[in-house]
Amino acid sequence: MARYSIYDYTRHAYDYYEAPGPGGTHAGSPPAPRANGDLGASPERASWKLPMGARKVGSGELPQGRIASLDGADATWDPTTALTLAAVAYLAWRMFR
């Protein structure tokens, strides 16, 4: 199980999440900032995407595992969502051509 930490700015603490996948802080390649030419990046833009199916397991003052962001959650490319978007795009194409 991989562990992710998401900072809650209102409580000034980290929420911990666990998701299936490789454990360890440095497994896999780190995310890249999502804009070219920016000097630095906000935590929401440069953090790991919280995987689908992650569940909250606690909170604390210090991060554990990978730093993640709810804004970066990988909901767009869930297989079901991607298939739904493709079907809607096809139907729109058929209706408006």
Tens of pLDDT, residues 46-74:
778 888 888 999 999 999 988 888 865 54
For residue 1, what pLDDT is reported? 84
Show the tokens assigned to 45.
Answer: 């833009």
Q: Could you tell me how far CA 34 lies from the centroid of its own chain?
A: 13
* Amino acid of residue 43: P
Q: Could you tell me how far CA 60 lies from the centroid of its own chain?
A: 20
In this structure, are residues 91 and 52 in contact, taking their beta carbons and an 8 Å threshold?
no
Share of the chain above pLDDT 90, in %: 31
Residue 13 has a CB neighbour count (10 Å cut-off) of: 14
Tell me if the pTM is above 0.75: no
Report the distance separating Cα 4 and Cα 28, nearest Å. 14
